Structure 1
């Protein structure tokens, strides 16, 4: 397995605002779960879950090469969707000495059925206990390592809660089959909704290349259809998640707890590009800005056609 150099790890830790980079390898040995929890929080507050390169680039192709991911995330200050950010984070963790496997998942539809393999997450093992560590599912995703235990119930960002169940799916032709299902309850009176399921079988880089190809190219893909960018809001001490900043199509929303407000709406590309820099620190090149011209996702003044 490839890993990042100590110089790359130091640069990444500086990028996410980790306070004690010189002690990180010792912390990984002494208290790995505490370090993992802190890294996940800081990562999700700095590295957005986003689809920008499918709209603001000439190629509109996403590389899972680890050096390309380091350049995109650390050097250029961008993020990516699940296979990008989770592959990158997995490599960071391996570089620090963590043991983990990357696995495939299926995202749930609103009716409770599931799509094909189109999600990636990581299972990190600490003291013979596996934890789900996912930095690439957006505003309904887990914000900390979750022990792989049937029925485990936890707070994501209050009042929302998450739950893990080991059970069958309605699509299973053999009801004795089991997968892990991650569900979310937005508040105490809401129904639980499945978000995604996953298995404990290790997926190889070649598997994710196949999944990535379809996700980034099929016209029906959510990421191909939508410009989106999401990051976590932390408390002042940077120890707990309190909300999300969500850019989606033509608006930017701030969600803290159970309160949500539209902060900005965009009428033009200049509006949206300005918000990416203001709220996410993402500065697009002139070529990237022009690349969206003519796409269905481009924002145009009212009455203007592609």
Structure 2
């Protein structure tokens, strides 16, 4: 737990597992541990066992996608005294269609201060910076926008069963959430599908992104996007060495080869870095 807290820049263990501590831990996690799918393209196995998650995120300084990030965050929270459950969700695409069952993992967290239940999520990329009050059905302002959790039966799209919830951001549906807690093993099929199916956006794109002080920092293949002073800047990195430096300097990820970008024609296995890369 202490090594994990150092990984996310926390000064130490919180005195109490309360709502304030949860809010601080989620924000630190988003700013320190990147949302990334590099393992899929480096042909590294996706394993959701606790030890493997901690080895990857804490010891190896890597990130992951939702199952890995929220899976590891759940281990940290439990170790600090929070009560944590795993929730399954289906993500709305840009066309309004839902993804597969177990498309996404989110966390239901209870704190010791009686502040209610919280929807914590460090694995959805550009999403809420702070935990959302799970039982509140009103607007919840957040630096990333205005969020609202509504019963699925009241949402205009009409998806879901009785008791299901829709998480909205600025009025647009983000994901359909089933409130019944699940076991981490239940998400293995979803993780396998997303890491192997040609229909998964994770197999068709390369992404590494984290929350910065001014906004998100995102490396997608060779294209680096940063936000400074409220302005977004994009650049195409000139060569492999520059891409490896970007992984190291912006995300703390040290690679000896680049993951192949499926959008680039002729990409084969990950390329080996030059002798000066990753120094």
CA contact (8 A) 1:269 1:298 kept: no
Richer in helix (by share): 1
Offset at residue 222 of structure 1 (A): 1.2
Instruction: Give the corresponding residue for 1:189.
Output: none
Q: CA deviation at 1:233?
A: 1.6
Cα shift at 1:135? 0.2
Query: Displacement, 1:91?
Result: 0.7
**Secondary structure of 2:249's aligned partner:** helix
Does residue 250 of structure 2 align to residue 250 of structure 1? no
Rounded to whole Å, the distance in 2 between the matches of 1:43 and 1:290 is 25
Distance 1:46 1:120, change over 3 A: same
- TM-score, normalised relative to structure 2: 0.85
- 8 Å contact from structure 1 (residues 250, 299) kept in 2: no
Aligned to 1:230: 209
Q: Secondary structure at the match of 1:87?
A: helix
> 2:59 maps to which residue?
75
2:155 is the alignment partner of 1:181:
no
User: Which residues of structure 2 form unaligned runs of 5+?
Assistant: 268-279
Structure 1: distance between partners of 2:166 and 2:118: 14
Residues 1:96 and 2:80 aligned together = yes
Whether the 8 Å CA contact 2:240–2:258 is kept in 1: the answer is no
Task: Give structure 1 stretches of 5+ with no counterpart.
Answer: 1-8, 186-191, 235-241, 302-306
Q: Secondary structure at the match of 2:199?
A: coil
Contact 1:37 1:144 in 2 (8 A): yes
CA distance, structure 1, for counterparts of residue 176 and residue 229 of structure 2? 25
Q: In the alignment, is residue 296 of structure 1 matched against residue 262 of structure 2?
A: yes
* Gap change, CA 1:165 and 1:121, over 3 Å in 2: same
Match 2:254 to one of 277, 283, 291: 283
Q: Hey, what's the Cα distance between the residues in 2 that align with 1:230 and 1:299? A: 23
Q: Provide the residue aligned with 1:203 in structure 2.
A: 182
Aligned to 1:304: none
Question: Counterparts of 1:39-50 in structure 2 under 5 Å?
Answer: 39-50=25-36
> Any conservation in 1 of the 2:237–2:243 contact (CA below 8 Å)?
yes
Structure 1 stretches of at least 4 aligned residues deviating more than 6 Å after TM superposition: none
> Counterpart of 1:137?
124
2:48 touches 2:185 (CA, 8 Å); kept in 1? no
Q: In angstroms, what is the RMSD of aligned CA positions?
A: 2.3
> Does the aligned pair in 2 maintain the 1:44–1:135 contact within 8 Å?
yes
Structure 1: how far apart are the matches of 2:92 and 2:229?
24
Counterpart CA distance in 2 for 1:254 and 1:130 is: 34
Which whole-Å CA distance do the structure 2 matches of 1:68 and 1:297 have between them?
A: 29
Aligned counterpart for 2:172 among listed residues 163, 168, 193: 193
Where 1:223 maps in the other structure, the secondary structure is coil
Deviation at 1:171, TM superposition (A): 5.6
